[in-house]
Amino acid sequence: MTMLQQAPGSAVLARILDDDYVSVPPSDRRRSEARLLQTNPWQGFEVELELFNGHYLGMRNCLVPGQAEQIVNLAYLDPHPAYHAGDLPVRLRRVLLATLVPLSLAAYLQSGSVPWVLLASGCLLVLAAMSATPGYWVLKTALGRVPVCRIRGGLLSSSAAAQFVGLVRERIEGAEIVLPRGSRRLAAELAEHRRMLNSGCLSRRDYDSARQRLLSRFRAGNAGLDDQLS
């Protein structure tokens, strides 16, 4: 006979929220390991990412000093972040194609407008670079499948960003072992998503979506819950 298991209630989630599965180290016990400053002065964007205590990632908006830092426990994330190329290559190609015809015509006519066409092309390339979205990685929760962090490549710091992402991936792969197994894993997942909602890492819409996925996974695994959530 298969016994129907119930989803963890608020009392269980409260206990989980107080234990090491979702608790965040206090500032006096924080050990910084790596930092990445993401900045784009043209778009008014400056966010500092900090990896600390082995498997925690902090995100701080440098342009809003009073805003609370958002912290993600890497143990709950997917170790394979999705990369998006951004629209910079597309914008540059469009500018080059748009200036190719007038530049060719000016060169054919041997007119003195070639320098002006080159100057206009350079200005357009700079504007395209300033307004473009560079490539970025999206970190999602492993079971909830909702985004919690975006790591931008930047125009001049793509190498540093790629190295930081590689380090984060290593920590994610090694941190999953700290999580519980079976039905307690579900409670920990729900509690961590609740904590991220309360801290501002998740929107209400993303939280509800993740919660629905987690509970559906739980219901589908009544006969073999340990396999589903381990």
- Strand ranges of the sheet holding 70-73, from the earlier edge strand across to the other edge: 32-40, 45-52, 56-61, 70-73
CATH class assigned to 10-86+133-229: mainly beta
pLDDT at 13 over 60: no
Name the strand (E) or helix (H) holding 57. Answer: strand 56-61
Q: What is the mean pLDDT of residues 167-175?
A: 94
Query: Residue 100 forms beta bridges with which residues?
Result: none
Mean pLDDT of 96-119: 71
Query: Distance between CA 194 and CA 37 in Å, rounded?
Result: 27
- Pair of tokens at residue 26: 């206090």
| Confidence band for 184, pLDDT divided at 50, 70 and 90 | confident
Strands 136-140 and 147-152: antiparallel
Q: Give the chain's count of helices (H) and strands (E).
A: 7, 7
| Angstrom distance (rounded) from CA 8 to CA 136 | 36
Minimal CA–CA distance to 149: which of 211, 204, 32, 71? 71
Query: Bigger pLDDT: 167 or 89?
Result: 167
Predicted confidence at residue 221, as pLDDT, reads 62
Most confident of 89-103, 126-140, 172-186, 191-205: 191-205
Q: Which of 40-49, 105-114, 163-172, 208-217 has the lowest mean pLDDT?
A: 105-114
Give the rounded percent of residues in the chain with a pLDDT score beyond 70: 77
Structure-token match 């129907």, residue found: 4
**How many whole angstroms separate alpha carbon 29 and alpha carbon 34?**
16
Query: What rounded mean pLDDT belongs to the chain?
Result: 80
In eight-state DSSP terms, residue 55 is T
**pLDDT in the model for residue 108:** 66
Q: Which residues pair with 36 in a beta bridge?
A: 49
d(CA 31, CA 70): 16
The DSSP bridge partners found for residue 152 are: 136
Residue 94 pLDDT: 76
